[in-house]
A and B are shown apart, each in its own frame.
Chain A
Amino acid sequence: QSALTQPASVSGSPGQSITISCTGTSSDVGSYNLVSWYQQHPGKAPKLMIYEGSKRPSGVSNRFSGSKSGNTASLTISGLQAEDEADYYCCSYAGSSPYVFGTGTKVTVL
């Protein structure tokens, strides 16, 4: 069970859209539409942003959206804002050992 692969960093200017990829295998991301995404600001606990691939919890901005194609899931942040600067982690269901996290992506707002 290897960690899912994410780009180390992604950046964008305020108002722009960015997309973070999360690449797994046919044993995790590719087999289940059960990817979740977490936002983590420095020194804080992670916060759930997306679950079941594309669903947003109550209170999460609709600027955040999730999708999947094959073994790769994606998180898109539209209308980028300064407060979106944080680390983002994907997590996929992986069967009997049910969770595998991604390597994490640092989002910088230029």
Chain B
Amino acid sequence: QITLKESGPTLVKPTQTLTLTCTFSGFSLSTSGVGVGWIRQPPGKALEWLALIYWDDDKRYSPSLKSRLTITKDTSKNQVVLTMTNMDPVDTATYYCAHSISSSSPHFDYWGQGTLVTVSS
């Protein structure tokens, strides 16, 4: 079965760079059409899509955060890494990674449990 799990720091200071890792199993990111995305949710607020990487290394970013985000994949390790620069307290949120089965049918069918990142000095 497909599982995903996010890992990274729980606390970062303002202006620092956040690095989150999504480790997955049950699928390969070298399979045609497959993608892994990152979505975040500030406490008590709505979901916000951040970034997505496809099997062919095509990368997509939220226009509002594009300058701060980088998404990469390590197919051999079954990992996707998201970096977000210049962190601010408003970036405090639960960060989820999720599986997308096909670029022609864009939806997230499997989600990780999420990891809460707090930005504070």
Chain A interfacial positions (CB closer than 8 Å to B)? 1, 3, 34, 36, 38, 40, 45-48, 51-52, 57, 89, 91, 93, 96-104
Rounded to whole Å, the gap between the CB of B55 and the closest CB of chain A is 14
* Complex CA distance for A51 and B52, rounded to whole angstroms: 18
Rounded to whole Å, the gap between the CB of B89 and the closest CB of chain A is 21
* Complex CA distance for A52 and B109, rounded to whole angstroms: 12
The answer to whether A48 and B108 touch (CB under 8 A), given A100-B49, A102-B46, A104-B46, is yes
For B49, B60, B105, B112, which residue has the most chain A Cβ atoms within 10 angstroms? B49
List 8 tightest A-B contacts by C-beta distance, closest first. Answer: A36-B107, A99-B49, A51-B107, A45-B111, A104-B46, A101-B47, A93-B106, A48-B109
B60 touches A96 (CB 8 A): yes
- Partner pick for B105 among A34, A38, A97, A104, CB 8 A cutoff: A34
Q: Is the interface of B mostly helix, strand, loop or mixed?
A: strand
Question: For A45, what are the chain B residues with a Cβ–Cβ distance below 8 Å?
Answer: 96, 111-114
**What are 5 A-B residue pairs whose CB atoms fall within 8 Å in the complex?**
A34-B105, A36-B107, A48-B108, A91-B49, A98-B60
A99 touches B96 (CB 8 A): no
The answer to whether A97 and B60 touch (CB under 8 A), given A38-B47, A45-B113, is yes
- Partner pick for A91 among B96, B107, B113, B114, CB 8 A cutoff: B107
A46 touches B96 (CB 8 A): yes
* Complex CA distance for A91 and B48, rounded to whole angstroms: 10
Q: Does B64 lie at the interface of the complex (its beta carbon under 8 Å from any beta carbon of A)?
A: yes
The answer to whether A104 and B62 touch (CB under 8 A), given A45-B96, A91-B107, is no
Rounded to whole Å, the gap between the CB of A53 and the closest CB of chain B is 10
Q: Does B26 lie at the interface of the complex (its beta carbon under 8 Å from any beta carbon of A)?
A: no
* Complex CA distance for A46 and B60, rounded to whole angstroms: 21
* Complex CA distance for A48 and B106, rounded to whole angstroms: 12
* Complex CA distance for A103 and B45, rounded to whole angstroms: 8
Question: For B103, what are the chain A residues with a Cβ–Cβ distance below 8 Å?
Answer: 98
* Complex CA distance for A51 and B46, rounded to whole angstroms: 19
Complex interface residues of chain B between 42 and 83 (CB less than 8 A to chain A): 45-49, 52, 60-64
